[in-house]
Each structure stands twice: as C-alpha cells, then as structure tokens.
C-alpha cells in the first residue's frame, strides 16, 4: 500500500474506516438481537407483551360480568391485570368512573365511551382498549378501559438494566466503532507518511550539521518516494558542490598562508634596512631621502601588520586554533585593557566611558588572549572613526554563563550596506565610515570568528542616540559550572567503562 499515491491512500483509508465501522456495527447489532431474543420473556418483555394479555383480561371481564362494577371486585380484577405496565378504569352504565389505577381522561364524554366499546384507540400517548361489561339480566352494565404502551419492558427487576444496556450499546456502538476505526487507520496512515518525513527531517539536520555522508533508505513509487529521491539527488549534488567549494577554500587558505609567509621575510628585511638607515647617525642623506625612508618604513610596517593578520586569519580558520580558558576576573581585566587605549584617546581628544555590571570581580574562566584580540580590534575601529571631542562608551554585563560587551562611539552611524557586510572579510566600509589609515578590512571579521570560537556571537547596529555600536558576547565558566562539567565528564567516562 505504501507504493500507492497519497491521494489513493487517503481514499482507501476513508473506505476502510467506513467499511470496518459498518461491519463491526452489524456484528454488534446481530449479537444484540441474539441476546435480546435470549432474554425475551426471562428478563425482557416484547413490545406487544401487554397487548397480548388483553384477550385473557377480556375473557375474565365477560366471565365476571356486572359484578366488576362493584368496588369490592377491585382486588380480584387487579390480580388479572399486569399493573406494572397497564392502567385500567372501570365505568358504570352512565359513564361514571367507579374505580381504577389511573385518573387520566381517555374519553371526553360518556357517549364517546359507548361509541368506542370493543375498539382500540390511541389516547394520551397510549393505546386504550374499551371492553364492555355485560350483565345477563341488565344488559350493558358498564365498561373497562385498559391503557398500555407498545414498547419493550422489563420482565424482572434486572430487566430494566438489560434494556438500558442494550439501548446504549445499539446507539453508541456505531459512533464508538467509527472513532476507533479513525484512530486505528489514521495512525497506520500517519505512520506510513511519517516515516519518510522523519527521515527527511533527520537528513536535513545532518546537512545543517555539515554531515553529507548518509543515505536515505526509503523507496516508494509515490510522491514521498519521489520527494526522498529528489532530496537524495540534492544532497549528492550539494556534497559535490560543497566538496569543490571546500577544496577551493582550503586551497585559498593555504595560498594565503603561503603568500603571507613568503612576504613576511622580505618585508622584515625592507623594514630592518629602512630603520637601520634612519637610525644611523653617520649616514649622509638629504631631507628628501629621509622622507622617502620614512615612507618606506611606514608602509613596510603596514604591510607587516597586514601579513600578521593574514597569518592569524589562516590560523583562525584552520582546525589548529583551540580555546584555552584561564581564570580571569573580568573587572580588573577590562580596566587594565582599557588603560592601554587612554594615551591614544587623549591624543585624539576622545573620552572613554566604562560601565561594568554584574559580579565582575568573581573569578571566571575564558580565553583571555582571544578576548583581548576582540577588544583590540573593536577599540581600534572605534578610535579610528570617533571624531575629536567624541566619546566611546563601553558597557559590560557579567551573567552566570556569559559576558556581554557593548562598545558604541559617536562617529558616523553604520549605513545599511555597512550593517550587511561589516563582518565580511576585506570589507572596508561605506563612504561615511570609509577606509582610514589603510586598514585591510579584517578586524571585525576576526572579531566575529573569535566570538564564535568562544561560544558567542557579534553584531553591529545603530543606537537610538545615533551611536554606532558593536556588541559581542562569549561564554564563561564559573567554578561551579567547571566542577559540574568535570563531574559530568567523569560520569560519562565511568559509563563508557
């Protein structure tokens, strides 16, 4: 059935639900009829039970004749009439009620009583039989009305419970069987449909986790089978494409690393000789030559810094760079780090404000070297774009599981293009925050990569005050969480053994 189209499976499921519930209902009704016939006259009376008693009652009335009009005959008459399901009324020849078990007005006038003698007529929701009372000498002495219903009735005290149970079963079973059939067949249908869907969801998670070495083990000649086949083809094509892309990326990274290594030595030589010439007091040179040497040294230093960053990015993108947590107190760590920027900030007439919240003096563990690199890159970028007389605001919040940093400056706000590309490699900014100082556009790319390595993230935005802000966070470990992780690792090791 799994090879059938989904439309056919749905139709077949509906047919199975209807047919199975009908068959089950028919079987239950047949069993109910058999049980009813078995209990008939033992626990249950048939619908015409009281009607079948009327000929015997009429024979008794004819036998007794006019003596039944006397109220003294009441006890004898009630021995003949089944009182639990039949009412009676005794009238005299004038149409006056003498006695009986019911006060209901089954006939309106005495004339109606005479007219309805020896007939059965409906009245007040019941069937009424009018039986004449005839006396040998006096003729018609009166009449007896017998009122009854044509319905199943209990033959004993437990009979009413059997009737109620049979009635409930007959009414409820079609709905119960229909609901059970829906639950059973829809569960089977859902299981058939859910199996490939679960496999597709698991495959999607594998792709999300960058694992393409798996196979979809589902084959069916229907929509789900074709979807699974198309997904497998997409996965294979993606694997080929990503493999080629990964190879190209690895080649690019290796080439960048090799090029940076190759440039490092000649740049060091150029910088060394330029500094030697500038620092040699005995060297005779003109002012023009000295200016040229300054330019050579300055640009050699820029190239050396760029090479160092390229080498660091190659290391950062490779598998070799590991996070090495050490015990740090964030408050003293941050205050010491900010002191490194005070001289440059004073020279640029820029004010640095810091706000540290949370338990900043408590010992925590994180990679302090990586955190320093992140702060260096963000602060360098902020100092570069903050105008003289401006401000750099640093807000740090220490939470139980991470440290959050927000560094905002009063320089030009980020453009839409900046916000989309700021953390991309070699992006040098839009015109408002254009390249200054010849930077290569690698600083914020390094910030994002390092924050991710440390279990956090980085983002850029414009504050409502107009400030340009870089926010990032990284994970931290407290002594409690560190001991808890060591205990978990120990328990996992014991379990493996």
Q: Which string of DSSP letters, residue by residue, matches 429-486?
A: --STT---TT--S-HHHHHHHHHHHTT-EEEEEE-TTS-EEEEEEEE-B-HHHHHHHH
Structure tokens belonging to residue 381: 């970028």
Domain boundary residue, one of 275, 304, 321: 321
The verdict on 195 and 142 lying in the same domain is: no
Domain range for residue 475?
326-482
* Phi, psi for residue 475 in degrees, rounded to 5: -75, 150
pLDDT tens for the chain, 497 residues long, are: 556 777 888 888 899 999 999 999 999 889 888 888 888 777 888 888 889 999 999 999 988 888 899 999 999 999 999 888 899 999 998 889 999 998 888 988 888 888 899 999 999 889 999 999 998 766 888 999 999 998 888 877 777 788 788 888 888 888 998 999 999 988 888 888 888 888 888 888 887 877 777 787 777 777 777 788 888 888 888 888 877 777 776 666 666 666 665 666 676 777 776 777 777 776 667 778 778 878 887 777 777 777 766 666 666 666 666 888 999 999 999 999 899 889 889 999 999 999 999 888 899 999 998 899 899 889 988 998 899 999 999 999 999 889 999 999 998 999 888 888 888 877 876 554 554 544 566 778 888 888 998 899 999 999 998 899 999 999 998 876 666 566 665 665 554 55
Q: Is residue 496 part of a domain?
A: no
The verdict on 36 and 68 lying in the same domain is: no
Q: Is residue 489 part of a domain?
A: no
pLDDT of residue 144: 94
User: Of 353, 326, 323, 359, nearest to 341 (Cα)?
Assistant: 353
Q: How many domains does the chain have?
A: 4
The verdict on 280 and 359 lying in the same domain is: no
Distance, in Å, from the CA atom of 311 to the CA atom of 257, rounded to the nearest integer, reads 6
Distance, in Å, from the CA atom of 329 to the CA atom of 336, rounded to the nearest integer, reads 11
CB-based contact 463:347 (threshold 8 Å):
no
C-alpha triplet 10, 15, 20: angle, nearest 5° = 130
Q: Is residue 458 part of a domain?
A: yes
The verdict on 31 and 166 lying in the same domain is: yes
The verdict on 239 and 332 lying in the same domain is: no
Q: Greatest CA span in the chain, whole angstroms?
A: 173
Q: Is residue 415 part of a domain?
A: yes
State whether the Cα torsion 136-138-139-140 is positive or negative.
negative
Q: Is residue 492 part of a domain?
A: no
Q: Is residue 206 part of a domain?
A: no
Structure tokens belonging to residue 238: 């993606």
The verdict on 32 and 84 lying in the same domain is: no
The verdict on 293 and 223 lying in the same domain is: yes
CATH number for the domain that contains residue 459 = 3.30.565.10
Q: Is residue 495 part of a domain?
A: no
pLDDT of residue 22: 92
Distance, in Å, from the CA atom of 26 to the CA atom of 30, rounded to the nearest integer, reads 6
The verdict on 285 and 388 lying in the same domain is: no
Domain boundary residue, one of 199, 230, 262: 199
Query: CA-CA distances (angstroms) from residue 334 to 355, 470, 478?
Result: 10, 16, 18
CATH number for the domain that contains residue 265 = 1.10.287
Residue 455, C-beta contacts closer than 8 angstroms, at least 6 positions apart = 323, 402, 474, 475
The verdict on 308 and 243 lying in the same domain is: yes
pLDDT of residue 432: 44
Helix (H) or strand (E) segment spanning residue 345: helix 342-347
The verdict on 335 and 438 lying in the same domain is: yes
CATH number for the domain that contains residue 59 = 3.30.450
Q: Is residue 12 part of a domain?
A: yes
The verdict on 189 and 231 lying in the same domain is: no
The verdict on 100 and 224 lying in the same domain is: no
Domain boundary residue, one of 321, 341, 373: 321
């Amino acid at each position: 059935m799994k090879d059938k189209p989904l439309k056919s499976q749905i139709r077949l499921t509906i047919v199975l639900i209807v047919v199975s519930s009908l068959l089950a209902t028919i079987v239950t009704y047949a069993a109910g009829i058999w049980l009813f016939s078995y209990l008939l006259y033992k626990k249950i009376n048939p619908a015409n039970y009281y009607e079948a008693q009327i000929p015997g009652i009429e024979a008794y009335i004819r036998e007794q004749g006019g003596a039944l009009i006397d109220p003294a005959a009441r006890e004898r008459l009630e021995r003949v009439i089944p009182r639990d399901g039949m009412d009676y009324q005794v009238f005299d020849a004038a149409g006056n009620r003498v006695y009986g078990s019911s006060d209901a007005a089954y006939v309106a006038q005495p004339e109606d009583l005479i007219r309805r003698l020896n007939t059965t007529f409906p009245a007040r929701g019941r069937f009424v039989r009018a039986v004449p009372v005839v006396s040998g000498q006096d003729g018609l002495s009166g009449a007896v009305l017998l009122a009854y219903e044509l319905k199943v009735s209990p033959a004993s005290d437990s009979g009413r419970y059997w009737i109620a149970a049979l009635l409930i079963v007959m009414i409820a079973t079609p709905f119960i069987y229909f609901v059970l059939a829906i639950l059973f067949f829809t569960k089977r249908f859902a299981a058939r449909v859910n199996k490939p869907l679960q496999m597709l969801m698991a495959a999607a998670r594998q792709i999300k986790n960058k694992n393409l070495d798996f196979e979809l083990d589902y084959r069916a000649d229907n929509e789900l089978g074709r979807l699974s086949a198309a997904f497998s083809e997409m996965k294979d094509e993606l694997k080929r494409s990503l493999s080629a892309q990964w190879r190209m990326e690895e080649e690019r990274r290796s080439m960048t690393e090799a090029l940076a290594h190759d440039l490092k030595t000649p740049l060091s030589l150029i910088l060394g000789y330029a500094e030697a010439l500038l620092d040699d007091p005995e060297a005779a040179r003109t002012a023009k030559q000295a200016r040229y040497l300054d330019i050579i040294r300055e640009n050699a230093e820029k190239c050396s810094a760029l090479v160092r960053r390229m080498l660091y990015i190659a290391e950062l993108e490779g598998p070799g760079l590991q996070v090495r947590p050490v015990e740090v107190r964030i408050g003293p760590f941050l205050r010491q780090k900010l002191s490194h920027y005070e001289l440059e900030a004073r020279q640029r007439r820029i004010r640095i404000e810091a706000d540290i919240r949370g338990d900043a003096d408590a010992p925590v563990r994180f990679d302090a070297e990586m955190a320093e690199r992140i702060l260096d890159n963000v602060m360098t970028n902020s100092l570069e774009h903050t105008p003289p007389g401006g401000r750099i605001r640093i807000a740090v919040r220490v939470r139980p599981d991470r440290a959050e940093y927000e560094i905002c400056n009063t320089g030009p706000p980020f453009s839409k293009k900046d916000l989309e590309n700021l953390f991309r490699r070699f992006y040098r900014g839009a015109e408002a925050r254009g390249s200054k100082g010849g930077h290569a556009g690698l600083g914020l790319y390094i910030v994002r990569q390092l924050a991710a390595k440390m279990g956090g993230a980085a983002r850029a935005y414009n504050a409502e005050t107009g400030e340009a802000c870089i926010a990032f966070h990284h994970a931290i470990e407290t002594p409690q969480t560190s001991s808890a992780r060591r205990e978990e690792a120990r328990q996992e090791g014991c379990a493996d053994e």
